[in-house]
Amino acid sequence: MKAAIGIGLIGCGRAGRIHGRCFGGRISGARLVAAADPDGNAAQRAAHDFGADNWYTDFRRLINDRAVDAVVVVTPTNFHREIVVAAAAAGKHVLCEKPMALGVDECREMIEATNRARVKLQIGFMRRFDAGFCAAKQAIENGEIGEVVLVKSLSHGPSVPQRWMYDIAASNGPLAEVSSHDIDTLRWFSGSEITEVYALAGNYRCPEARSEFPDFYDNVVVSARLKNGSQGVIEGAVSVSYGYDARAEVLGTKGVLFVGGLAERPLTVCSASLQVQQPIVKSWRTLFSDAYEAEDASFIEAIREDRPPEVSGIDGLRAVEVVNAGNRSIREARPISLAATTEVDV
């Protein structure tokens, strides 16, 4: 195998630049060799900043670049299926950011294409590589809180959604863009599959979307039933202004654990003004920077060791399945069962 696996970055926005920075010199045994984005300035800037030799405005040209051995797909969700299938056909390994796709059928196509080509497919649930979340998972497996009864996971983001995200048909909404991580956290921490969801949602902070996109929601709460009998609660929000907030609570038969928090660093200031101040995390890019690096390193290890990725296409498919059920629950104002689609033949 080559001394350094050549990485092609497809999508050079905020999350794309995080992966670009990692593969631009922080990941042993890999090197960013090309970047692609429809915005030529973004592609050229990423290539320059992270040491890539080439940049393209068409992802197909990047896929056909002989120096590229694997791609990282960080585009809007509706392009994932086409790019991943094309990359697999060209023999490239794939790290695809979440959400995996818009629908379960698209996820199946992506899994089948990578299986057929015998290339790796890893999905970007970076919380599985975060030190705190990994310690929580280990504590659960060690039986420190007994059997899992309830998993509660939340993500509150400060950013105002990009305009394309307002269209639920094109983005699958905040359940996909924000809460995919929480869905995966429920599955991961419980060790089970979600079989039923009931979701409530509303638009409280994005008035500019109400007239053209009346079904857009910026706040969502999901109650979930899991196959092993445990329970789940997901809370997602965008445009919260106060900072980036990602936390989980796991209640067991013999205890409880908490992971995540608002504090940017372990500092609390109590002043003469009788106020308590604590710096708050402003962005997921700050909070999970180490997790992204560990995620990217794991992808390279899976390629080099020819082993399954730690987060598979099935994990991505499961999250999409729950997102679609949650959006249907919002539309129909009733619980939606996933039991009929629990078994996946891929």
CATH number at residue 232: 3.30.360.10
Q: Indicate if the alpha-carbon torsion angle 242, 152, 207, 287 is positive or negative.
A: positive
Has residue 27 got a pLDDT over 90?
A: yes
Could you list the beta-strand ranges (E) of 84-167: 93-97, 121-124, 148-156
Q: Are residues 28 and 50 in the same domain?
A: yes
Q: Are residues 55 and 134 in the same domain?
A: no
Asked whether residue 346 is assigned to any structural domain, the reply reads no
In the structure encoding, which two tokens stand for residue 218, read together? 């910026």
**Parent domain of 299:** 5-125+291-312
Number of domains observed in the structure of the chain: 2
Q: Are residues 138 and 107 in the same domain?
A: no
Q: How many residues would you count in the chain?
A: 346
Has residue 313 got a pLDDT over 70?
A: yes
Is beta strand 121-124 parallel, antiparallel or unpaired with respect to 93-97? parallel
Q: Are residues 87 and 138 in the same domain?
A: no
In the structure encoding, which two tokens stand for residue 81, read together? 């299926």
Q: What is the average per-residue pLDDT within 224-231?
A: 98
Q: Are residues 249 and 335 in the same domain?
A: yes
Q: What is the average per-residue pLDDT within 56-82?
A: 97
Nearest to 10 by CA among 33, 29, 27, 28: 33
Phi, psi (rounded to 5 degrees) for 273: -80, 5
Q: Are residues 111 and 221 in the same domain?
A: no
CA distances from 180 to 67, 184, 275, 283, 318 (A): 32, 6, 36, 17, 10
Has residue 342 got a pLDDT over 50?
A: no
108 or 288, greater pLDDT: 108
Percent of the chain whose predicted confidence (pLDDT) is above 70: 91
Q: What is the average per-residue pLDDT within 310-314?
A: 98
Q: Are residues 178 and 280 in the same domain?
A: yes
Q: Are residues 299 and 202 in the same domain?
A: no
Could you list the beta-strand ranges (E) of the chain: 5-10, 30-36, 54-56, 70-73, 93-97, 121-124, 148-156, 194-202, 219-226, 231-237, 245-252, 256-260, 269-270, 276-277, 336-337
SS3 229: coil
Q: Do the Cβ atoms of 215 and 258 come closer than 8 Å?
A: no
Count Cβ atoms within 10 A of the Cβ of residue 102 and give its class: 0-12 exposed, 13-18 middle, 19 or more buried.
buried
Q: How far apart are the C-alpha atoms of 233 and 222, rounded to whole Å?
A: 6
What pLDDT score was predicted for residue 159?
87
Amino acid at 186: L
Is the pTM higher than 0.85? yes
**Local confidence band at 287 (pLDDT 50, 70, 90 cut-offs):** low
What pLDDT score was predicted for residue 276?
66
**Close Cβ partners of 305 (under 8 Å, ≥ 6 residues apart):** none
Q: Are residues 191 and 329 in the same domain?
A: yes
CATH code at position 73: 3.40.50.720
pLDDT digits (tens, 9 = 90+) for 131-174: 999 999 999 999 999 999 999 999 999 989 989 899 998 899 99
Q: What is the average per-residue pLDDT within 73-81?
A: 96
Q: Are residues 17 and 82 in the same domain?
A: yes
Asked whether residue 90 is assigned to any structural domain, the reply reads yes
Q: Are residues 117 and 165 in the same domain?
A: no
Q: Are residues 61 and 77 in the same domain?
A: yes
Asked whether residue 161 is assigned to any structural domain, the reply reads yes
